[in-house]
Amino acid sequence: MVGGARRITMRVRIQVVIESAAGKPTDVHEIMGITREELRPDTLGLTLEEAKTVLEGIQRTIVEQQTAEYLRTQSHCPHCGNKRYHKGQHTVTLWTLFGKFRLQSPRLYHCQCRLHTTQTFSPLAERLPERSTPELLYLEAKWASLMS
């Protein structure tokens, strides 16, 4: 201790909490833990690398949860309620401001209760045809317009 000052350790945990429609926590995802001991200019707040890691972790968690929930809604036929069978799966790559995410996308057989032009479909590939988020496309276009 210098001049009677105590060394303080601070721990910060950054989490994403997924809640049910009723507002009850259903899933907790640990994004990052940070420890700070002494207040200095270089330890104040988040570093750029820490901030990027936190944002990427939050984005990954939200994307994975949203796609998993959407795929759950597609596992049964919306017309008759019969379970759709899996043919297999492939990877869909999604580009966001916070990085590239590879998502597992099942191929499902269409239900026979209605006539379809194809036997199978990929719900995630159909829902995300652009494979890039609108924010990323906007910033790419904006940055491209600034180039001489």
pLDDT digits (tens, 9 = 90+) for 14-63: 999 998 888 888 889 999 999 988 888 888 889 999 999 999 999 999 99
Residue 132 gets the label, from left (phi > 0), alpha (psi -120 to 50) or beta, of beta
List the structure tokens of 88. 């297999």
**E-strand spans in 40-145?**
86-96, 99-109, 120-121
Is pTM beyond 0.85? Reply is no
Percent of the chain topping pLDDT 70: 96
